Structure 1
Amino acid sequence: MRRLLRLSFIVLIVLRYGLDELLLSSFRPRPMRLLARLARAGRRLDAPPGVRLREALERLGPIFVKFGQVLSTRRDLLPPDIADELTRLQDRVPPFPAEQALRLVERAYGRPVDRVFARFEREPVASASIAQVHFATLYDGREVAVKVLRPGMLKVIDEDLGLLRTLARWVERLSADARRLKPREVVAEFDKYLHDELDLLREAANAAQLRRNMEDLKLVMVPEMVWDLCTEQVIVMERMYGVPIGQVQRLADAGVDIPKLARDGVTIFFTQVFRDGFFHADMHPGNIQVSLAPDTFGRYIALDFGIIGTLTEVDKDYLAQNFVAFFRRDYKRVAELHVESGWVPRHTRIDELESAIRACCEPHFDRPLKDISLGQVLMRLFQASRRFNVEIQPQLVLLQKTLLNIEGLGRQLDPELDLWSTARPFLERWMDEQVGWRALINELRDEAPRYAKLLPEMPRLLHQALLHRAERPLEGEMQVLVHELRRTNRMLQALIYGGLGFVLGIVAAKFAAYLPIF
């Protein structure tokens, strides 16, 4: 009955905001378009479709707001106006009562709050769709932030996800064009994000890893976790003091070098992505502050680590090859990489994909950030991707989303910032590590322990092989020995020549890839 009531409420919201008309009008068959016009009759739907969708998600509650936020990152699936509107969804929702927060904390620790904290502020300082944050003080004097998971979230999420899966199946059955949008896969991706965020212990581990990675950079601060007080429902971390990065005038009045702050943001982003393959994937202004303390003046402060992106060595190598091709403006190679990686069907014509990529990227080289929009570039690339049925990888979608966040921060801080010129020194070092001589040396160094263990065993292994062959009842011991010696000699020659050729091939490939690209 409860699920039926929830479904009825969703249907009412869909009808009130005209989402049924929005869905039907996107279908190609003429009967569907006619049905959309009939659905619109008798209702005032003056607001643009994206606005109506955003307002409907806000009315449906925190889970649908979070779904809209995740959906806004899939610009490869949405029209530009709807994607832009969904990015306006705010993560600020009404807090749950302080009494509930206190009960959840006591349940997590199995003892009263006043035995855990010397002081616990009942009024939350931040409230989101998944959790809310309270400030507190430990008995040893440390000031901390306590993040508490919203009560009953798992049950509500599972119920709403079940409804979303049902809706996704209906959409796929109604339209072949809707199947290309992969609604069930989008819901599955949303399911993963939500359940990852529901485990606050996972978020604490993400923060700890990011803190270790960024420790030597001295540009960004990550709060330290109080592990003795971290559970799946409640985590406790160091309290950070900073000014929200969106308050640019306040930062400038305090003496912060705003252009340097913008450049530091680019450096932090590229370091996390290309050096570590582990990056903060929710870097909107609400999660970024700037320290004004004397010993850490001007450093970024990162908050909220529920969404973290990761890149494998294969991903990084693929990106490295794409960067080489892009900076050489070798769009044919970019198109070939898309086909080789399986992103587009094998039958795709390379020349057509090359032409589409050139049209997207060529007008934007050598221009300052104030004159270009990476969002527009990505949007055109996504439009081209729909034409060629490009399969966008989830981890790279997160990377694209974070790149859009960085662009927004750069525009806000320093409209004169040239993103590519700022990133060039870092990219040159990174490319050297990925495909240059340094990469060859690093690979040989990584493989050295295996070779060091294998090479001393080679004589014994060869001797055992000879004895095993010699024990066979053949024509005669001498003939067997001569035969095995000749065969072993040929094997050793093939091994030596083959290994030499392999090493020379690697050297040649690395040398070719390391040709100047800027």
Structure 2
Amino acid sequence: MIRTFHQGLRLWAIGRVLVRYRLDAILFTLKPLRPLSFLLHLLPWNWFRQAEGTRGERIRCALEDLGPIFVKFGQMLSTRRDLLPDDLALELARLQDRVPAFPSDQARVEIEKALEQPIATVFAEFTDAPLASASIAQVHAARLRDGRSVVVKVVRPGIDRTIRADLEILHLIAFLADRYWADGRRLRPREVVAEYEKTVLDELDLIREGANAVTIRRHFEGSGLVYIPEVIWDYTRRNVMVMERISGIPVAEVDALRALGVNLRLLAERGVELFFTQVFRHNFFHADMHPGNIFVDASDPEDPSYLAVDFGIVGSLLDSDQHYLAENFYAFFNRDYRRVAELYVQSGWVPRHTRVDEFEGAIRSVCEPIFQKPLDQISFGTLLLRLFQTARRFDMEVQPQLVLLQKTLLNIEGLGRQLYPQLDLWTTAKPFIERWMSEQVGVRAFLRSAERNLPKVLVQLPELPMRLQEVLDSERDRAERDAALRAELRALKAMLQRDARRRAEAFTGIGLLIGAGVATRMDAFTHWHGVPWPSWALGLFGLALLFFSLRRGDGLIRRMRGMGQDRPD
């Protein structure tokens, strides 16, 4: 009862925000309320107020007023260029996750409760003023007793309950939209909310985030591309995480990087390499690479590298999607649009009945105008949008497993555009894709696969003769069963043919007897009450029966003879 009451209050608050930003008209696009749309003009708050700002601006402001969960939902939606109109996607991309910090005494209580010991026991220093504050958690600076500088990330108190309550509201809204909104089926709101729910609930678990950080740190250990801070597992819990503190320049502060003489071209190229390495070599990528999470180590301006934090959202691809995606990039870099179209069909991203030549022409019209242009003259966001619009014409299905990849690609585009707009993305990325493709085929790929599978093969090798014998026995038994079945089918076919022949002969005999009887007795029935027609009628009946019998028997024989022709003896 209390839960329902709180949900009702939340829905009332959402309604007030919709009215405030003149978005109440959205409700009247639902099928049951559409006939009542004239009431919009009768509602008192619509008499004098005029809508301020564009549709996208009003939706963005409404989401910011509704709170952090709706802000994050809007941010996620901004990456779905396949679902939203261009103006909405661009406006939602401007959503900022600006949330006031919660009191430091609450942070202390949560940390001590999670670690089960006083803060003074764990930390030699603890800074009450947070370094950063977001919708899920906030970060404080601290120093461990052994002298290491660290940051302490603590989840907001009660945010789990707030998130789950708002998710229930979002599920309800998605259900109504899917059932009653005209575009509900095409935009698939229930799947979108389910996808968002998984992402945001994963962010609540800081142990999971720590494990993600450790995995990426291991992948790039000793690399000059990126440095991942160390997770201090002794003081990491589900709602508290302690990590090594890093020092770098925010990647968005381009003027500061220029003042230090940082090689921005090399830095931008390394950003592209970082993306492709994570996606294709490691198949485990940081999926929240916005400027607030990326820093630059400028200690050597001619050899800069990245520093990354916040690993709550990561992504990976199925082997099949990874392979198709790499081949897509490879074909695209070589302007082989025919191959791009074929890969879309083979992967199932567009229906099998799609005409490859038409799809090829559509892709060429989108990609060719921007080929070999520097980054400051193209936009991946616009490119993706046009590709999705083109693919929608060919009934392309939304691919949820590629959403995080699209989001990361847009983040990389933003970083590259800020750092070095003259970057030739194609020239930078093509060698990497070619190298990856060469590693997936040929002798090197065979040797790597053999090395990976050799331990498993060696374990199963002693059992190989027994398993081979079982396969041979199974194949022999199957062959014997098939031979017995074919013999039974031949016997059944012969029996049916004999039966059909006997029926035909019987029908033919009956017809001949009736015809003969009619012929021999025709004189006796020549006149009946002075009318000669019964003899002719009986004669015609006999001949018709004879004709039917012959056709019936012949048809049965033909059908019996045709049995089993599709299955070889």
Q: TM-score, normalised by structure 2?
A: 0.77
What is the CA-CA distance between 1:354 and the residue it aligns to? 2.3
| Residues 221-236 of structure 1 aligned to structure 2 (within 5 Å) | 221-236=227-242
Q: Output the amino acid matched with 1:182.
A: R
Q: Output the amino acid matched with 1:319.
A: L
Cα 1:435–1:376 change in 2 (3 A) is: farther
1:192 to 198, 201, 205: 198
Aligned to 1:510: none
2:64 corresponds to 1:88 = no
Aligned to 1:14: 18
Distance 2:38 2:122 in 1: 63
| Residues 50-449 of structure 1 aligned to structure 2 (within 5 Å) | 50-293=56-299, 298-449=304-455
Distance 1:353 1:465 in 2: 45
What is the CA-CA distance between 1:336 and the residue it aligns to? 2.7
Q: Output the amino acid matched with 1:43.
A: R
Contact 1:22 1:49 in 2 (8 A): no
Aligned to 1:500: none
Contact 1:266 1:406 in 2 (8 A): yes
| SS of 2:94 mapped into structure 1 | coil
Distance 2:388 2:82 in 1: 5
Distance 2:473 2:408 in 1: 62
Aligned to 1:486: none
| SS of 1:304 mapped into structure 2 | coil
Q: Output the amino acid matched with 1:83.
A: A
Q: Which moved more, 1:380-389 or 1:58-67?
A: 380-389
Distance 2:325 2:57 in 1: 35
Distance 2:410 2:473 in 1: 66
Q: Which moved more, 1:293-302 or 1:344-353?
A: 293-302
Cα 1:351–1:164 change in 2 (3 A) is: same
2:6 to 2, 5, 12: 2
Cα 1:111–1:435 change in 2 (3 A) is: same
Distance 2:205 2:211 in 1: 10
Contact 1:278 1:308 in 2 (8 A): yes
Contact 1:230 1:236 in 2 (8 A): yes
Cα 1:286–1:32 change in 2 (3 A) is: farther
What is the CA-CA distance between 1:148 and the residue it aligns to? 0.4
What is the CA-CA distance between 1:385 and the residue it aligns to? 2.9
Cα 1:466–1:10 change in 2 (3 A) is: closer
| SS of 2:64 mapped into structure 1 | helix
| SS of 1:118 mapped into structure 2 | strand
Contact 1:220 1:300 in 2 (8 A): yes
Q: Output the amino acid matched with 1:2.
A: H
Aligned to 2:522: none
Q: Which moved more, 1:203-212 or 1:37-46?
A: 37-46
Contact 2:207 2:237 in 1 (8 A): yes
What is the CA-CA distance between 1:462 and the residue it aligns to? 6.4
Contact 2:333 2:426 in 1 (8 A): no
Q: TM-score, normalised by structure 1?
A: 0.84
Distance 1:230 1:19 in 2: 43
Distance 1:355 1:37 in 2: 47
What is the CA-CA distance between 1:287 and the residue it aligns to? 0.8
Contact 2:366 2:386 in 1 (8 A): yes
Distance 2:456 2:176 in 1: 54
Residue by residue over 1:445-501, the C-alpha shift from the partner in whole angstroms, topping out at 9 and shown as x without a partner, is 4344455555665556667999999xxxxxxxxxxxxxxxxxxxxxxxxxxxxxxxx
Cα 1:294–1:412 change in 2 (3 A) is: closer
Contact 1:54 1:89 in 2 (8 A): yes
Identity %: 56
Residue by residue over 1:161-212, the C-alpha shift from the partner in whole angstroms, topping out at 9 and shown as x without a partner, is 1111111111112234222101111110110011100001111111111111
Distance 2:336 2:172 in 1: 44
Q: Output the amino acid matched with 1:206.
A: N
| SS of 2:383 mapped into structure 1 | helix
Residue by residue over 1:349-383, the C-alpha shift from the partner in whole angstroms, topping out at 9 and shown as x without a partner, is 33332222222112121222122111111010121
- Count of equivalent residues: 470
Contact 1:320 1:434 in 2 (8 A): no
Distance 1:133 1:465 in 2: 61
What is the CA-CA distance between 1:21 and the residue it aligns to? 2.3
Cα 1:34–1:79 change in 2 (3 A) is: farther
| SS of 2:113 mapped into structure 1 | helix
Distance 2:179 2:452 in 1: 51
Cα 1:113–1:345 change in 2 (3 A) is: same
Distance 1:404 1:93 in 2: 24
Distance 2:166 2:467 in 1: 61
| SS of 2:241 mapped into structure 1 | strand
Distance 1:35 1:270 in 2: 54
Q: Which moved more, 1:341-350 or 1:9-18?
A: 341-350
| SS of 1:225 mapped into structure 2 | coil
Distance 1:371 1:261 in 2: 19
Distance 1:93 1:454 in 2: 57
Contact 2:331 2:339 in 1 (8 A): yes
What is the CA-CA distance between 1:302 and the residue it aligns to? 0.4
Contact 2:199 2:313 in 1 (8 A): yes
What is the CA-CA distance between 1:411 and the residue it aligns to? 1.1
Contact 1:369 1:415 in 2 (8 A): yes
Distance 1:305 1:462 in 2: 47
Q: Output the amino acid matched with 1:393.
A: Q
Q: Output the amino acid matched with 1:62.
A: P
Q: Output the amino acid matched with 2:151.
A: A
Aligned to 1:487: none
What is the CA-CA distance between 1:46 and the residue it aligns to? 2.9
What is the CA-CA distance between 1:326 and the residue it aligns to? 1.9
Distance 1:201 1:325 in 2: 40
Which 5+ residue runs of structure 1 have no aligned equivalent? Answer: 470-518
What is the CA-CA distance between 1:315 and the residue it aligns to? 2.0
What is the CA-CA distance between 1:22 and the residue it aligns to? 4.7
Cα 1:38–1:329 change in 2 (3 A) is: farther
What is the CA-CA distance between 1:51 and the residue it aligns to? 0.6
What is the CA-CA distance between 1:74 and the residue it aligns to? 1.2
Q: Output the amino acid matched with 1:381.
A: L
What is the CA-CA distance between 1:325 and the residue it aligns to? 2.7
Cα 1:88–1:407 change in 2 (3 A) is: same
Distance 1:266 1:320 in 2: 15
